[in-house]
Amino acid sequence: MSLLPPPILVNDASGLLDLVAALAPCAAVGVDTESNSLHAYRERVCLIQFSTPSADYIVDPVAFPDLTALAPFFASSQQEKIFHASEGDLLGLGRDFSFVFANIFDTMSAARTLGWPQVGLAAVLDAQFGVTLSKTHQRADWGRRPLKPGMLDYARLDTRYLLPLRERLHAALVESGHWAEAQEDFERVARVRPKPAGPSPDPMAFWRVKGARGLPPGQAAILQAVFDYREDQAERINQPPFKVMGETVLLALARRAPLTLDDLGAIPGMTPGQSHRHGRGVLSAIQRGLHAATPPAPIIEAPSDDVLARYERLHQWRKKRANARGVESDVILPRTTLRDLSQRPPRTLDDLAGIADFGRWRRELYGEEILAVLSEK
C-alpha cells in the first residue's frame, strides 16, 4: 500500500473536468462514497472516490458541490460502475445530486450470489489479495475540513482493489453459471431511487420509535412532544438525534412523565449531562404533551390471511432453496418479489413478468415451482 501514488483530490471545476476526461475511456471504474451520517442532523455525501486502472481520484463535494458533469458517467450503459454494497451509495448520490444509474457491478452482491462465507469488503480483500484495510477512520467525520492525508488514503483504498476484485468475481460467476442471476441483482439495485422528501418535520415520525405503538394515548402525546424537542435540538446543533437522546430515554420519559429536574435522575439511560443540557426543555415538552390532544395512530392495513399464507409458503420454499445452495435466502428471491407474489399471485408463467424485481433468469428457473407453491392449499 505504501507504494501507491497519492490519490488525486478533485475540489474545483477544473479538477472535475479533468476527472470526467480521465473516466471517459474507461470501460469500468471503481466507485465508493463517504457520508457523515454519524456526525450531522441531515446526512450528506462528503466524498466520492473513483479508481481507474491508472489512478485514484477523490471528489470533495463539500468544497465543490456542483457535480453535474458526472451525471453522464453514472447514467452511461457503456461504462461499468463497480461498487461494494452499492445501495446506500446510490441512494445518497441520487438524493444529493439527482444522479441516475445504469450498468452497476456490486461486488458484495456478487460474493453473496456465490455463497462466499464473508462478504464485507475488508474480509474479501484480505481473503482474495492479502490486503488489510485499516479501520482507523471508519467512524470519521467526513464532513469536516481540512481532510487529513490519512483519511484520503483510507478512502481511496475502498475503491483501489474493486477492479481486480470484479474480474475474479465475474470469472467465478460465469464458471458457476450464476452470471445472469447476478446481473439481475445489479439491474435491480440500479433502479433504486431515494424516497421523495416528505413534510419536514414529519409529525408522525415519533411513531417509528420502538414501543411507541404500545403506549396509551396520553403517553403517546408526551412521546410526540419530547421527540419533537429532540429533533429541534439535533437540528440546532447539527448532530444526529441519537446523540442528543436515545429512543429508550424518550420512551421512558413518555411512560414516567417526570415533573421536576430531580425526577429526571430516575429516568433509565438519561445521563447527568443530558439532564443539565436538556432538563428544562424536556420538562417543558412533557407539559406540552400532558395538555396536548391525543395524536392519531397511523393506519396500517393488515394483510389478509390468504396473503399471509401465500407469503409463508413462499418463504419456506425460498429458505429450502437457499439452504440447498448455501446462500442467504434473499439471493434466491428478493423480499420485494416475495411480497408482490403473495399479494398479487400470478396464475401463469406470463403473469410472472409483472412481478416486482423478478427478472427473466429467475422466472425461467423458478417460475413453475413458484406457481406450484402458490396453488397449494
Distance CA 253, CA 219 (A): 9
Q: Which residue has the cell 482493489?
A: 161
Give the domain range for residue 358.
305-375
Q: Whole-angstrom Cα distance, residue 157 to residue 126?
A: 12
* One domain for residues 53 and 113: yes
Please tell me whether residues 137 and 13 are part of one structural domain.
yes
Query: Would residue 3 count as lying in a domain?
Result: no
| All three cell numbers of 358 | 423478478
User: Nearest 5°: phi and psi at 179?
Assistant: -65, -45
Kindly report the CATH number assigned to the domain that includes residue 371: 1.10.150.80
For residues 280 and 151, state if they share a domain: no
Determine, yes or no, domain membership for 338. yes
**Residue 296 belongs to a domain:** no
DSSP annotation of 139 reads T
22 found inside a domain: yes
Domain co-membership, 181 together with 326: no
| Predicted pLDDT of residue 198 | 67
Sign of CA pseudo-dihedral 282, 287, 290, 292: negative
Whether 223 is in a domain gets the answer: yes
Shared-domain flag, residues 170 and 228: no
The verdict on 62 and 126 lying in the same domain is yes
Q: Let me know if residue 267 belongs to a domain.
A: yes
DSSP-assigned beta bridge partners for residue 47 = 34
- Which CATH number covers residue 85? 3.30.420.10
**140 assigned to some structural domain:** yes
- The residues near 62 (Cβ < 8 Å, ≥ 6 apart) are 46, 143, 145
Whether 50 and 77 map to the same domain: the answer is yes
> Three cell numbers at 243?
446523540
The DSSP line for 13-45 is HHHHHHHHHHHTT-SEEEEEEEE-TTT-SS--E
Out of 220, 255, 290, a domain closes at: 290
Boundary-marking domain end, from 146, 166, 190:
190
257 and 177 together in one domain: no
Please check whether residues 37 and 149 belong to one and the same domain: yes
Whether 128 maps to a domain, the answer reads yes
The pLDDT assigned to 294 comes to 86
Total domains in the chain come to 3
pLDDT at 202: 85
**What number of H helices and E strands is found in the chain?**
17, 6
Per-residue pLDDT of the chain (377 residues; tens, 9 = 90+): 447 789 999 999 999 999 999 999 999 999 999 999 999 999 999 999 999 999 999 999 999 999 999 999 999 999 999 999 999 999 999 999 999 999 999 999 999 999 999 999 999 999 999 999 888 888 899 999 999 889 999 999 999 999 999 999 999 999 999 999 999 999 999 999 898 776 677 889 999 999 999 999 999 999 999 999 999 999 999 999 999 999 999 999 999 999 999 999 999 999 999 999 999 999 999 999 999 998 898 888 889 999 999 999 999 999 999 999 999 999 999 999 999 999 999 999 999 999 999 999 999 999 999 999 999 87
26, 68: one domain: yes
Residues 167 and 265 in one domain: no
